[in-house]
Amino acid sequence: MPHTSPRNTELIILLGLIAAIGPLSIDTYLPSLPAIGEELSAASALVQQSVSAYFFGLAAGQILCGPLSDRFGRRPILFGGLGLYLVATLACIKAPTIGVLIGARALQGLGAAATPAAGRAVIRDIWSGDQAARAMSFVMMVTAFAPLLAPIIGGQIHAHFGWRAIFWLMLAFGCMLMALVQFRLPETHTAARRAGISIASYFRAYAHILADRHAWGYLLAGGLSFATMFAYITGSPFVYIHFFGVSPEYFGFFFGLNVIGLTLGNWLNSRFVARLGYLRLLGAGTAVSASSVLALLICSYTATGGIVAVVITLLFAVGPVGMTGANAIAGLLNLYPHNAGAASALFGVAQFGFGAVAGILTGLFYSGTPVAMALAMMLMAGGGFLAWLWLWLSLRHTLQQPG
């Protein structure tokens, strides 16, 4: 672990828990999506929009949260975001219609946006370069336990207490995070580092970063790679539960198999990034993901291999996503170390914005078979690989890797 010490280990675990609010808020209620549609009399595509609404909220919120965390510090933004998250979660619990649920989910995502924006900036406050990529991998390894356990827990809660009880769990987790931020998270972006700079300068940093074609390469490669996973998240409940007849109570076990792949990908990244460099490993991740999604699409279209083929190809399609995300954000933050909050926010916008689009495409393509999910994943994974290929051709003669 970068600069190993008990305090840094605690910080990594804490940042992992903070980042876990994202997968917890998504994955716990995935087994309930078909049942939500039935109770609220909503079509499958409309229910899937509650997932996309959360992603849109996450994307939009980070436009504000990144620069605000640079100007006012990491802790105040985390407190504000978590407060909004708790209020929106209460609205989800009481939602009488699918429209109210979609709106509440958007607000929930808006509040949760503070956690990835400020959390990634905390890492850049302390580490840089490949050390930051390694730290990010460790954070993602901690975070990976959330999507591994969340759908299993969500399925059990749904079976015994109904889908609204799942949002009570989210509320309790949000309250716990508020307490941890208050008592265990130090301010890593001190007043001395923020002095003399206006808030407007932080928002101007967006234009500066977006004018850089290399920044776009990292944003597209990392964002589209994450969107591949979000298409899977949106479509998998209907693929497993509706198409293959898996009980909602056991959906989490199928979902958790892919989390094992994510954990392995992050572990491999933490082992080899210092030796090979983040740009090369970013390419390896996007290539494995794109080729595996192509295999998934072929198997789904030809109805070859059944559920076994879907499970295996998804394992290799989703597994590298953590690796690509860690290396893409490390490369972007290394370009803009003095605008870490703004750069982190833009990465979040790309990540969750493309994720929302992937979710909408999955719903629009929905035909009752795995083809819709596979097609949306193919568009995202293929785009991510092409973005990395352009970035590699552009940077290979100027960027020293590793380092």
Q: Give the model confidence (pLDDT) of 331-383 as tens digits.
A: 998 888 877 767 877 887 898 889 889 988 988 888 878 999 999 999 999 99
Res. 314 pLDDT band, cuts 50 70 90: very high
Residue 110 pLDDT > 60: yes
140-154, 181-195, 256-270, 363-377: which is most confident:
363-377
For tokens 């009481």, name the residue.
94
- DSSP-derived letter for residue 165 is H
Q: Which two tokens stand for residue 135?
A: 């730290």
**Res 144: pLDDT:** 61
Rounded Cα gap, residues 289 and 117, in angstroms: 25
Residue 399 pLDDT > 70: no
**Res 296: pLDDT:** 96
Assess contact for 117 and 65: CB atoms under 8 A: yes
Instruction: Tell me: cis bond preceding 147? Omega within 30 of 0 counts.
Output: no
Residue 4 pLDDT > 60: no
What percent of the chain is predicted at pLDDT more than 90?
A: 43
Residue 228 pLDDT > 80: yes
For tokens 């998240």, name the residue.
233
Helix extents (H) in 95-212: 98-112, 114-126, 129-143, 145-161, 164-184, 191-194, 199-210
How far out from the chain centre does Cα 324 lie?
A: 11
Q: Which of these ranges, 1-15, 108-122, 217-231, has the smallest mean pLDDT?
A: 1-15
Assess contact for 238 and 255: CB atoms under 8 A: no
Q: pTM here?
A: 0.77
Question: b/e for 322-339, b at 16 or more Cβ within 10 A?
Answer: bbbbbbbbbbbbbebeeb
Q: What's the topology of domain 6-184+196-393?
A: Growth Hormone; Chain: A; (1.20.1250)
Instruction: Tell which wins on pLDDT, 172 or 129.
Output: 172
Res. 401 pLDDT band, cuts 50 70 90: very low
How many residues would you count in the chain?
Answer: 403
Residue 391 pLDDT > 70: yes
Assess contact for 23 and 115: CB atoms under 8 A: no
Per-domain residue ranges for the chain? 6-184+196-393
Residue 294 pLDDT > 80: yes
pLDDT, mean over the chain: 86
